[in-house]
Amino acid sequence: MNGYPLHPAIVQENKIIGNNISLRNVSTEDAEFIISLRTEGQKGRFISATSSDISAQIKWIDSYLTGSGQAYFIIEDKFSNKLGTIRMYDQNEDSFCWGSWVIKDGAPPQTAIESAMMLYTYALKLGFNRAHFDVRKENLSVRRFHERFGAIMIKENDLDVFYEITKTSILNSMKKYHRFLPNGIRVE
Ligand SMILES: CC(C)(COP(=O)(O)OP(=O)(O)OC[C@H]1O[C@@H](n2cnc3c(N)ncnc32)[C@H](O)[C@@H]1OP(=O)(O)O)[C@@H](O)C(=O)NCCC(=O)NCCS
């Protein structure tokens, strides 16, 4: 209803354009960028380990591109400079999981919130009604980000905290943070 599909599914998209950034479908040419983003410096501390084997990364991207059920994007600025990554995966009925969220040092500060808002806008457009994700317990700044956005902690174990966010909370935050994505998204 409300123009949203009744049976959501995660689909890959060539490009989703926002305000200052775009989400572009990952290609095998991004393998090196992804490896350096995830393995250099402190960025990899709270995400699953990444092999620095380029051919393994290319193989992974190739199977992603021919597979289904996930959408893995490079976050880019208006000049096609690569700023980071974000991914939707693990659909569970009307809920999707998102993660692989890494933004390189030096990216404009609004990149995080705009990329999250773009992903949520896209997910609602696909018909999803909620999202779920887990965050390393010690990843306090990211936990704070999700909590400010309206995510609710539903369980935890020694390592991770598990969150859910409903469509109502997503829409409330979209209103609150409208200034970061004033014209919504355009899918190309
Ligand atoms: C996760 C990641 C992409 C988030 O990006 P980030 O830039 O650190 O995100 P922040 O929460 O600091 O937000 C950046 C800025 O956006 C703005 N912002 C974010 N949330 C906001 C909100 N709810 N309201 C208003 N402004 C907000 C602020 O300007 C904020 O800067 P400040 O609060 O430090 O002044 C980044 O930290 C990263 O690459 N981490 C390593 C990998 C990782 O841990 N990934 C997550 C795995 S679950």
- Is residue 174 lining ligand 1, measured as CB closer than 6 Å? no
Q: Is residue 10 part of a domain?
A: no
Give the number of domains in the chain: 1
- 69 within some domain: yes
Any domain includes 6: no
Q: Summarize pLDDT for 3-42 with one digit per residue, the tens.
A: 667 789 999 999 999 999 999 999 999 999 999 999 988 8
Contact by Cβ (8 Å): 119, 24: no
Q: Is the CB of 109 under 6 A from ligand 1?
A: yes
Instruction: Please answer whether residues 115 and 86 qualify as being in contact, where contact means their C-beta atoms are separated by less than 8 angstroms.
Output: yes
Of 166, 168, 173, nearest in space to 148 by CA: 173
Q: Which residues in the chain show pLDDT less than 50?
A: 1
**Coil vs helix vs strand at 61:** helix
pLDDT digits (tens, 9 = 90+) for 44-56: 889 988 888 999 9
Q: Which domain holds residue 73?
A: 15-187
Smallest CA-to-CA distance from 25 within 10, 13, 40, 7 is with: 13
CATH code, domain with 79: 3.40.630.30
Report residue 126 as tokens.
């696909």
Which residue of 37, 87, 103 sits with most ligand 1 atoms within 8 Å of its CB, as the best mutation to test the pocket? 103
**How many angstroms is it from 113 CA to the middle of ligand 1?**
7
pTM of whole model > 0.85? yes
| 59 falls within a domain | yes
pLDDT at position 152: 98
Q: Is 107 helix (H, G, I), strand (E, B) or coil?
A: coil
Whether 2 maps to a domain, the answer reads no
pLDDT of residue 61: 97
- Does some domain include residue 128? yes
Which residue minimizes the CA distance to atom 48 of ligand 1? 135
Percent of the chain with pLDDT over 70: 98
Pick the residue whose CA is nearest to atom 18 on ligand 1.
113
Tell me whether residue 1 is in a domain.
no
Q: Is the CB of 101 under 6 A from ligand 1?
A: yes
In a domain, 3, yes or no: no
